[in-house]
Amino acid sequence: MIENLEFLDINWASELRRRHDGAPMLPPLFVIEHGPTIRLVDLGSTYDGAGPAGTIPGSAFVPPEALESVLAPVPDTTRVVLVSGQGQIAADWALRLERSGRTRVAALEGGLAAWRRLGLRTERASRD
């Protein structure tokens, strides 16, 4: 785990990419490297963790319509990476949150699909 948070901020800024509309995005390998220092939020429209794609281990499911209220008490110093299936929904929300003042938010570039293409682990929850 990276102890020097200032270094992490520099690394975050250097790895941050922008979509055509300016949405902030981070590549999956950055998320893996800095996993413990990042809060992953799964924005699937329904809880897909029990579905065939699963979810990224350690991510919290938050329906998009609840995202702003869930993140309201979370300090801006918390690094938040949003995840959706192909990354589009997450990128839209990351841009919206950034425009409203959150400075450490990004979408997972390529979404869960890119994560899985790299052969990275997902987990499936039971439907109980």
Task: Say what the pLDDT of residue 52 is.
Answer: 60
Task: Say what the pLDDT of residue 44 is.
Answer: 74
Task: Say what the pLDDT of residue 76 is.
Answer: 87
User: What is the reported pTM?
Assistant: 0.86
Task: Say what the pLDDT of residue 55 is.
Answer: 82
Residues 6 or more apart in contact with residue 68 via CB below 8 angstroms? 97, 100
User: Contact 67/93 with Cβ under 8 angstroms?
Assistant: yes
Task: Say what the pLDDT of residue 2 is.
Answer: 42
10-residue mean pLDDT series, the chain (128 residues): 64 89 95 88 66 78 90 91 93 95 94 90 66
Task: Say what the pLDDT of residue 125 is.
Answer: 64
- Per-state percent for the chain, helix, strand, coil, to nearest 5: 35, 20, 45
Task: Say what the pLDDT of residue 46 is.
Answer: 56
Q: Which two tokens stand for residue 50?
A: 């029990």
User: Contact 16/25 with Cβ under 8 angstroms?
Assistant: yes
